[in-house]
Chain A
Amino acid sequence: MLAVSSLLAGSMVPQSSAAPGQEASPPVTQAAYVPKDKDERGLWMMADEEERQLRTSNFVIRDPAINAYVRDVLCRTIGQAECAPIRLYVVRTPYFNATSAPNGMIQVWSGLFLRVRNEAQLAAVLAHEYVHYRDRHFLLLWRELRARAGSATFLSMFGLIGSLVAMGQLSTVFSFSRDQESAADSGAVYMLANAGYDTRESALVWGQIRDEADATAAARQAKSRKDKNGGIFATHPPTADRMTALFALSEKVKANGEPVNGVDRYHAMLATLWPSLIDDQIKLNDLGATEFLLASLAGGTWTADLLYARGETYRARGAAGDFEKAAGFYREAMAQAPANPEVRRGLGLSLLRLDSADEGREQLKEYLRLKPDAVDAPMIRMLAGG
């Protein structure tokens, strides 16, 4: 599998190395930055402790090809010298996020890879996190919080009025944080342009996240939470505002020459990872979002793997009518990949829940025949009736 993805990556290199403006990356500020004062060294120490734990964590995805690819995108975007001190960790968490720590540790959550559709969007997220680190946002936010929380403690001793003033004090910390996010967003756009990426992708990613929130809400027959961000106590600006600001900036800041989004390379590099990511996503029991993400991965072409994933999604929810739908998707997948045992397993288990138990048992027997050493073989054998 690894050999395949690196081979494909190799074939994509001409496209990405043609990205212009690589040499125009901003000048190096520090080769190896060392924290200076008491506050910063304390925060670095905490981040170092966290990283010490992360290094030995089972949640870190250590696949060398994936890690090398994500790092390559980061370095290509922010510049080789700037990325040298950065440590990058891919963490198995099925949501859209990335974080940076004061000491130069950047974590990328695995759920991000299902939601980001091309290399330029991945680059936008990584550059955003790098700006937080480079501009020492965490340290500045910490000082702001310490100052405001101190005065809030005094104020809250003065009954209701004092508490209201104290709340106002604290809410400015959150507005400070939102300003940092906007700064990181726009800082990332300039880096995208320098690296030759299509800067509009930084805004498009937010459109996708908002559409996903709508899909979740529609499936749950609830109001979409896409505009919910916590109001005055939100750490990040509303996604609609971020998208608007990013679109406006990306009109002004563009790559020299033809901008690239690297979608082919992105797909080639991450294809091996997708089945496990989809598996984690299905377990979130968020059918609307999962369907939305599968459809975006399919892009109109439903492969056997994606049809199987759809079947699993509906079978996992198991609401009225879901097993019929699941069986339908498994059958479509089976038509494309008749020798895939997992498809037989899903179909068999779905049919057992419908009025086709006999056919279900036949499918489970076929699963056992195709995969005799399956870990769940004893259980399936029992369900298949010996």
Chain B
Amino acid sequence: MPTVAAAQERHAVRPGFAYPKDREVKIVVFRPDVRVGTLTAGGLDEPNADWTATARTLIAAEIERAHGVQGATVSFVGEPEGEDGVRLAQYRALFGAVADAIMIHRLFVGNRLQSKKEGLDWTLGEGVSALADATGADYGLFLFTHDAYGSSGRKAAQIFGAMFGVAVIPGIHVGYAGLIDLKTGDVIWLNADPQMGGDVRTPEGAQKRVGQLLDGLPGRPVEAPATAKRN
């Protein structure tokens, strides 16, 4: 039996995957799903427009600056209109559902399926090629981050709760990212972490967060082994 720490995996790559070497491939980043706010004393996840806008800008800039993927161009695409918009919305939703399944049944400890523990064989289906036609790209990158920083009232409740032996979770910091082959629909890589580090409201924090979000993305230089605690 592996220990819990060893069994917990943050990312998985489709076995045997490599970018085509005969040309420079094009990766498009679809509008990241970013939400930043406050976790109030009462447990409400309160959205904050300024923090979200800041995080969105910082994360996008950091991805363009430091994606580090060898042999590929990485660029953001605007939201398409009309038919293409509806199609992207459907695949965005499908990717969300598939990513959830990968996190539950492949990555995170608890409900991993015997037949899914190795490899990565999920796909969104060949219909995705319509997105390749619309964007002219080979691969698509989806990103999701959600942060809620504990309010001062919540911090007080945390201290107060600790005195009575009541655990109050301090905040929410989840994120995941996935790379899709836009010709075949195959999920190439998925990376997820329910407790991400880096304060996305600051340039340094966003740099750390993007590093964690893109950790293990094919074509990126392998980082030094991560420390056990990633905060």
Contact = CB atoms under 8 A, between A and B. Distances in A.
A46 interface: yes
Interface string A124-137: 00000000000000
A154 B47 contact: no
B157 A154 contact: yes
A58 interface: yes
Interface string B153-169: 10001001100101010
A256 interface: no
Contact of A38 (B42, B50, B79): B50
Interface in A148-169: 148-154, 157
B40 interface: yes
Interface residues of A, number: 26
A150 B35 CA distance: 22
A44 interface: yes
Contacts of A39: 46
Nearest to B80: A56
B42 A146 contact: yes
A39 B164 CA distance: 31
Interface in B22-60: 35, 37, 40-44, 46-50, 52
A42 B46 contact: yes
B66 to A, nearest CB: 26
Interface string A266-304: 000000000000000000000000000000000000000
A153 B41 contact: yes
A57 interface: yes
B88 interface: yes
A154 B89 contact: no
A53 interface: yes
Contacts of A46: 35, 47
A146 B157 CA distance: 14
A157 B166 contact: yes
Given A146-B40, A154-B157, A56 B85 contact: yes
Nearest to A53: B89
B41 A42 contact: no
B40 A150 contact: yes
A55 interface: yes
27 contacts: A41-B50, A42-B37, A42-B47, A43-B47, A44-B49, A45-B47, A45-B48, A45-B49, A46-B35, A56-B85, A58-B86, A145-B42, A146-B40, A146-B42, A146-B44, A149-B40, A149-B41, A149-B44, A150-B157, A151-B42, A153-B41, A153-B43, A153-B157, A154-B41, A157-B160, A157-B164, A157-B166
Given A149-B44, A150-B41, 14 more contacts: A38-B49, A39-B46, A42-B47, A44-B49, A45-B48, A45-B49, A56-B89, A58-B86, A58-B90, A145-B42, A146-B42, A148-B42, A153-B157, A157-B161
